[in-house]
A and B are shown apart, each in its own frame.
Chain A
């Protein structure tokens, strides 16, 4: 493994693309409030699994695409995801040794920070959140984290992305 060239760049890119597509699909009825930030979750996974490859710059770039795709303020998701990537990089050693169910709490905190950052920026430009529902996607993300983690881990092992 010494000096091996980084492989599977396309796997990372494709997983982020899938997350981007998923995030555009609405959930039925009242569940839609809990629709998680798929992109943030996939980003957290890769930052945790491959901290030497996926980091702040990737988070920022992906966030910019989200901003364009959703027609929001340019740089809003970019800033939030860059900060989430940074926090994950700082804590990945502690998070990834924990059992999966304990990881979900760390992920909840990271996703909640992302939501708070986004809504803080929205508040600055004149759209303050009116209730606490804006944190619901973080809860949705927490519930779905084990599933996503297992899928992405298997994908990473299968394609030997390191």
Chain B
């Protein structure tokens, strides 16, 4: 018992870190500096790129149980189930083929009419499939992380769709992953057109996955519940004519100059698993450029 100094364990029981405040100040200042640089000047894209690539294996790990389950289900699916699915898919393909034939005729006709009018012809787009890796923690910020990046040819501003309609657009393309903003994000505005009447307006995100808001539509405008909204092609980000949603509520408040119009997105934003990325570079410009609106400004 020569050693009278309190043991390490005992010392730690009562230790108060004298530099805690200093540390907090340093780290706090560093994070505020980081946030400012990141938000205002986007000066950290290189750093983020490196870190995002380093973290990529973790995303793969998170997805592993789901992927393994899918793989196993496919591997062990019984013959009858597969045959049934095969038959169903074949039937569907025949149906789609018939519709496609009609579409080809229509497209040719459309092209001819457009060339008569001497307006820009819609070039066919290339489509890339990406899978969802993660959803933003923040329930009010509708950002999703996708498993394709610059290496696969993604670029900022690229339109993202699912099989039902427009989902959003890419706002950051890292090397292997990319972040997309959904059309329901409060900071997103999408130039749209009401299919029935041709009225052009914006679809603003509300922060709720089932709601879009259509601002600045006067009371006397012809808008009905059930009207289909499509992209208008204004702003040059989204090609024309993709479904965006349907109008679900039209309210007239005599006190306000505009009608309150709410729409529901066509895409199933709460059930995203796979998305389609349209490659329409160079950006399609709308034939008539009056009142062009930038779809998203950082």
Residues of A within 8 A of B (CB): 1-4, 17, 20-21, 23-26, 33, 37, 51-52, 55-57, 59-60, 63-66, 68-76, 78-79, 82-83, 86, 89-90, 93, 118-119, 121-122, 125-130, 133-134, 162
Is B138 a contact partner of A74 (Cβ separation < 8 A)? no
In the complex, what residues of B have CB within 8 A of residue A1's CB? 7-9
Interface SS, B side: helix
A78–B34 contact, CB under 8 A? yes
B252: chain A residues within 8 A (beta carbon): none
| Docked-complex contact A118 and B138, CB < 8 angstroms | yes
In the complex the two chains form, is A122's CB within 8 Å of B51's CB? no
Whether A130 lies near B55 (C-beta < 8 A) is no
Q: Which residues of B lie under 8 Å from residue A133 when comparing CB positions?
A: 139
Query: Which of A79, A90, A122 sits near B32, CB closer than 8 Å?
Result: A79
Say yes or no: B28 contacts A82, CB within 8 Å: yes
| CB pair B55 A86 closer than 8 Å | no
Q: Complex Cα distance A37/B27, Å? A: 21
Q: Are B140 and A60 in contact (CB under 8 A)?
A: no
| Chain B: interface size category | 35 or more
A60 touches B31 (CB 8 A): yes
Most chain B C-beta atoms within 10 Å of own C-beta, residue among A55, A75, A78, A130: A75
Do residues B55 and A69 form an inter-chain contact, with CB atoms below 8 A? Answer: yes
14 further A-B contacts with Cβ under 8 Å, apart from A118-B138, A125-B39, are A23-B137, A52-B12, A56-B23, A72-B136, A72-B143, A75-B32, A79-B35, A82-B31, A86-B24, A90-B20, A119-B138, A127-B207, A130-B140, A133-B139
- Pick from A55, A59, A127: contact of B186, CB under 8 Å: A127
The closest CB in chain A to the CB of B49 belongs to A68
Complex contact B187–A127 (CB within 8 A)? yes
Could you say which residues of chain A place their CB within 8 Å of the CB of B23? 55-57, 86
* In the bound complex, CA of A93 to CA of B15 (Å): 9
The one of B20, B21, B27, B143 that contacts A78, using a Cβ cutoff of 8 Å: B27
Give which listed residue, B7, B9, B24, B145, contacts A71 with CB less than 8 A: B145
Do the beta carbons of B27 and A82 come within 8 Å of each other? Answer: yes
Interchain CA distance A26-B62 in the complex, whole Å: 10
A20, B58: Cβ atoms closer than 8 Å: yes
26 A–B contacts from the bound complex (CB under 8 Å): A2-B5, A2-B7, A21-B62, A25-B62, A51-B12, A51-B17, A55-B23, A60-B31, A63-B31, A69-B59, A70-B134, A71-B136, A72-B136, A73-B39, A74-B38, A74-B47, A74-B48, A75-B31, A78-B34, A89-B17, A119-B138, A122-B138, A122-B141, A126-B186, A127-B140, A130-B207
A86 vs B26: C-alpha distance when bound (angstroms) = 12
B52 is an interface residue with CB less than 8 A from chain A: yes
Shortest Cβ distance from residue A59 to the other chain B in the assembled complex, whole angstroms: 8
Chain A CB within 10 Å, residue with most, of B9, B13, B23, B47: B23
Closest 5 CB pairs of A and B: A75-B34, A79-B31, A75-B31, A75-B35, A24-B62
Query: Hey, which chain A residues are within 8 Å of B117, CB to CB?
Result: none
Residues of chain B within 8 A of A86, CB atoms compared: 20-21, 23-24
Pairwise interchain contact A74-B35, C-beta atoms closer than 8 A? yes
Kindly state whether residue B172 has any CB partner on chain A within 8 Å: yes
Please indicate the chain A residues that have their CB under 8 angstroms from the CB of B35 in the complex.
73-76, 79, 121
Q: In the complex, what's the smallest C-beta–C-beta distance from A127 to chain B, in angstroms? A: 5
Q: Looking at the complex, which one of A24, A89, A121 makes contact with B20 (CB distance below 8 Å)? A: A89
User: How many Å lie between the Cα of A69 and that of B55 in the bound state?
Assistant: 7
Question: Distance (Å) between the CB of A144 and the closest chain B CB?
Answer: 17
Is the CB–CB distance between A71 and B179 below 8 Å?
A: yes
